[in-house]
Amino acid sequence: MKGGASRVGPVGSRILRRRVVPATCMLGLGALLGLGLFVFSCADTLAAPDAVATEETRAKAAAKPDVATPDKSTESKLPDKSPDKSWSAHRNDSKITLRGVVPSEEDRQTSLGMVKAHFPDLAIDDKVIIAETSQPREQWLAAVSFGLQQLSHMSKGKVRLDGSALTVAGRAVNAEEYGKLKKALTGTLPGELTLRSVGVRPPVADPFVFQADLGPNALRLAGSVPSEGARKTVRDLSRQLFARPGLDDRLEVASGAPKNWDKAVAAALRALSRLETGKVALSGVDVSIEGVAPDQGTAVAVSYQLKRDLPERFSTSERIKWKEAALQLDLGSEPGAAQDVAATIIPRIKVPAEPGGRWRSGSLPPLIPLGATSR
């Protein structure tokens, strides 16, 4: 044994110790701890895995974040839980709903009196709370009064007061009330009140009607337009197309215009501008034109032009007369006396001649053959 051990060397001894010591340990234990060397090696070998496991447990514990410690860097990002100090009033078909904060019970009663004055026929759902606000009492009451005035012009809508900032949204009762809303919201506001946002819509027009009536001395515009910008566009185009001293604008802003309404109106006005007198009307997507053209060629061209230029889905009906035909039929030169040639001549041609070569009164005479002499 001594000779064999000396030939193994230090490296071999370590390799043998790694492979043989566990087995030797088991034999030593089986031999009731016969040699102390084997017992010492066994204890060293069994303790090594426990030490490694202990080190791994400590490493995992060090890497695990402490969930009980709050992250102070995120504390400033938490939402502000301070109470909402806004006030709002919402109107629908039958009720006014009040929510939010009022500075005092006296202010609550005062604002409630304003609501009853503006909406005497509507039920009131009042669930406001009393809490101190930073806004002075007089400014708060003035802002609430102004907001309720705007709400009274709407069929449905809401006003909200956040400090000194007012939000207004809804739909106007009619064109007149819409005009009052626009005037108030673009004018001087009470106290330090500012407008946060405005979302007021004009009333709905159903059907959406537009008319342009061309007379001898003026062009009259009536009906609905979708916006103030569209109104200006129609006025500017009318000034370009019609050499008339007067422009009577009775247009009102409304909702409900069909798609491509602006293109249809432009096509209708261009067609009307070629007539001496006449009228175009749009009701939804139905377009009609009538009037007097200077000649037959213009009458036909106007009818064709309008059908060609109208957007898809729009339909037309035309009743265009021409002055030249009226003069030939001795119907007078007044525009009102001009008659539709198709409605005047064709029925007369279709009247059959009476027997015996005579013809009925009001019908055209029979044709005389060429070369024949009249008696």
* CA nearest neighbour of 180 among 191, 192, 168: 168
Higher model confidence: residue 350 or residue 194?
194
Strand, helix or coil for residue 59: helix
Q: Check residue 141 and give its pLDDT.
A: 95
Q: Check residue 43 and give its pLDDT.
A: 41
Q: Check residue 111 and give its pLDDT.
A: 96
What amino acid is encoded at 195 in this protein?
A: L
- Mean of all residue pLDDT scores within the chain: 76
Give DSSP secondary structure letters for 109-124: HHHHHHHHHH-TTSEE
Task: Please report, for residues 16, 99, 206, the alpha-carbon distance to residue 260 in angstroms, rounded to integers and kept in the order given.
Answer: 96, 41, 16
pLDDT by residue (tens digit) across 119-141? 999 999 999 999 988 889 999 99
Judged by average pLDDT, the poorest of 48-57, 96-105, 156-165, 260-269 is: 48-57
Question: What confidence category does residue 85 fall into, taking pLDDT thresholds of 50, 70 and 90?
Answer: confident
Instruction: Judge contact between 272 and 214, C-beta under 8 A.
Output: yes
**CA–CA distance, 7 with 84 (Å, rounded to integer):** 91
Question: What confidence category does residue 284 fall into, taking pLDDT thresholds of 50, 70 and 90?
Answer: very high
Q: Check residue 329 and give its pLDDT.
A: 53
What amino acid is encoded at 318 in this protein?
A: E
Per this entry, what is the length of the chain?
375
* CA nearest neighbour of 271 among 239, 322, 233, 310: 310
pLDDT at residue 283 greater than cutoff 90: yes
Question: What confidence category does residue 245 fall into, taking pLDDT thresholds of 50, 70 and 90?
Answer: confident
Strand, helix or coil for residue 358: coil
Fold match between domain 87-201 and domain 209-337: yes
Q: Check residue 133 and give its pLDDT.
A: 83
Question: What confidence category does residue 243 fall into, taking pLDDT thresholds of 50, 70 and 90?
Answer: confident
Domain boundaries, the chain: 17-46, 87-201, 209-337
pLDDT at residue 223 greater than cutoff 60: yes
Q: What is the CATH number of domain 87-201?
A: 3.40.1520.20
CATH 3.40.1520.20 fits 209-337, yes or no: yes
